[in-house]
């Protein structure tokens, strides 16, 4: 569906299940079921990223791949590490921070393009098994393309090569596809 991270087949299944439960359950139980269903659909909503604005950006900026809060920023001589946690009931969408070629492993994505040596996104958290990606290794993606969604209360660590400037600080709230998190040095 355009507004949710679930397929049309699952929407039809939910509608049929709702109609069957309406006939079986009492009024209170059915209302409780509807409340849980609404919460489920609210959590799986998609945030709306304006592709026109993101595509017009040059390739020298790195955008936030998720909505969340920057918890920690650390640096060493070759990399900058940005740790972003998702909001509990916020949008869970995962988007491309830069255009490039994807290389996917178990719990991380490596993105390579001509301007940046590498950008690595590492997933962790209690509900990491809920993370779902619909891209494969070798796929090419453009900036702000939706590539999947994260589990509830997940943590994403972004590992950027040191030839970039970090443009955010700890405690900042970032929005997927709208917040610039780093810029490439000349």
Give the pTM.
Answer: 0.70
* 66 and 28 fall within a common domain: no
CATH of the domain at 149: 2.70.70.10
* 58 and 25 fall within a common domain: no
CB atoms within 10 A of CB 149: 22
pLDDT score at 1: 42
pLDDT score at 135: 81
Q: Which residue has the tokens 């994260």?
A: 150
pLDDT tens-digit map of 140-172? 888 877 788 777 777 888 998 887 888 898 999
Helix, strand, coil content of the chain in percent (nearest 5): 25, 35, 40
* 29 and 75 fall within a common domain: no
Segments in 57-166 forming alpha helices (H): none
pLDDT score at 83: 92
């Amino acid at each position: 569906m355009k507004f949710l991270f679930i397929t049309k087949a699952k929407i039809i299944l939910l509608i049929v299940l709702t109609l069957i439960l309406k006939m079986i359950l009492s009024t209170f139980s059915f209302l409780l079921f509807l409340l849980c269903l609404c919460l489920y659909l609210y959590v799986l909503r998609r945030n709306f990223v304006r592709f026109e604005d993101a595509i017009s950006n040059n390739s020298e900026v790195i955008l936030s791949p998720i909505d969340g809060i920057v918890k920690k920023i650390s640096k060493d001589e070759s990399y900058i590490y940005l740790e972003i946690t998702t909001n509990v009931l916020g949008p869970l969408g995962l988007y491309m921070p830069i255009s490039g070629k994807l290389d996917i492993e178990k719990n991380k994505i490596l993105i390579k393009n001509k301007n940046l040596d590498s950008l690595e996104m590492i997933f962790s958290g209690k509900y990491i098994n809920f993370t779902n990606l619909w891209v494969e290794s070798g796929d090419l993606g453009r900036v702000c393309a939706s590539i999947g969604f994260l589990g509830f209360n997940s943590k994403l660590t972004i590992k950027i090569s040191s030839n970039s400037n970090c443009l955010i600080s700890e405690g900042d709230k970032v929005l997927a596809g709208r917040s610039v998190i780093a810029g490439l040095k000349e």
